Amino acid sequence: MIDTILSPIIWATSFVMMLWHRAFGAIFGSDSSASWVLAIIFLTITIRAAMIPLFRKQIKSMQNMQRLQPQIQALQKKYKLDKQKLQQEMMKLYKDNGTSPFASCMPILLQTPFFMGLYRVLSHVSAGNAVGALSQSDSVSAMHASFFGAPLSLSFLHHTPAQMSRIGVTSVTNLQIIAIIMAIIYATSQFLTQRMMMAKNTNLDNSVPNPMMQSQKIMLYVMPFGMLFFSLNVQIGVVLYLMTTNVWTIGQQFYTLRNSPMPGSQAEKEMFARNKAKEDRKRQDLIAKDPEAAKALAAANGSSTQDKVPVTRQRQQPVRTTRSKRKK
């Protein structure tokens, strides 16, 4: 039943994976573990690269939601006894500002079918069955592929003696050790990526309470445990997919924090400091190369600064004079 529902996703996932497998198979051999491991890694990269526009929309939505928090708080206070009116006003606020509370969840929601598709592909691979774009010979080849000796199609908790003997593995110790190490790395990277974004890309003004940030702080410490348990239930190949996704996410977050941080955040302060240091280096280089041009530029900047000094518009009060002074 689930294969019927996910059939298009299974075909798309297996097709992209087979394209990369063919490419790396020409280098490492079609039956080598390296070609299958790299095929899963580059399958992940392909999916994440296709989602870059959605990621940009997610960041913009998150920033807009942060900016709207004071207005949201005001609406909640104003319509606290009228839930229907509150919902209408908040929807109107989101529409007027071109944002949505669900936009930040879209990349995660769209990734979910793909790792479910990969999960189903590897489930068929563990039995040596053809699935999607994989023929039976491709499936048998993938079934024997491993990552540091741990079969890609098996997991820490799900490996039957029949599956182990079919692959030719007699001991589960190596599989379990690698699975635990990968699960810990994945859960830790999940925690660090979320913590980095919250620490660097959050508005530092705490004068307005933000329930969304409070819930994110709770999820920051709860989610890694859920991810740890989840990664022990899915195949090594799926965990490899998730780990590659986190590496990509760290790179995206690093770029975002450097180039389009949240206004008022620590990342924005660091960006301003970098820009100032860059301007100072340019000025020093100009002074070293052409002192006269540097003096002319400094004089021009000084003049423009003086021009920008605001002129007071306060009315001059008349000085009071006595009658004796007026007679003089």
Determine the average pLDDT of the residues in 146-161: 87
Tens of pLDDT, residues 104-151: 666 667 778 887 888 889 888 888 888 888 999 999 999 999 999 899
Q: Looking at the domain assignment, is residue 97 inside a domain?
A: yes
Poorest-confidence range of 197-211, 234-248, 252-266?
197-211
Query: Could you tell me the pTM of the whole model?
Result: 0.73
Q: State the pLDDT confidence band at 211, using cuts at 50, 70 and 90.
A: low
What is residue 312's predicted lDDT score, i.e. its pLDDT?
Answer: 45
- Asked which of 79-88, 239-248, 257-266 is least confident by mean pLDDT, the reply is 257-266
Tally the domains of the chain: 1
For residue 308, being part of any structural domain is answered with no
Write down the pLDDT at residue 42. Answer: 95
Residue 51 has pLDDT above 70, yes or no: yes
**Domain-embedded: residue 273:** no
Quote the percentage of the chain above a pLDDT of 70: 77
Domain residue limits at 235:
1-163+174-268
Higher pLDDT, 319 or 43: 43
Is residue 291 domain-resident?
no
Question: Residue 80 domain-assigned?
Answer: yes
* Mean pLDDT along residues 73-93: 81
Interatomic CA distance for residues 40 and 45, integer angstroms:
9
| Domain presence at residue 284 | no
| Residue 309 in this model has a pLDDT that exceeds 50 | no
Residue 323 forms part of a structural domain: no
For 80-84, 97-101, 207-211, which range has the lowest pLDDT when averaged over its residues? 207-211
Task: Express each pLDDT in 252-287 by its tens digit.
Answer: 888 877 777 766 667 777 778 888 888 888 878 777
pLDDT band for position 29 (cuts 50, 70, 90): very high
Please indicate, yes or no, if residue 253 is contained in any of the structural domains: yes
Listed residue (20, 23, 24) closest to 35, CA to CA: 24
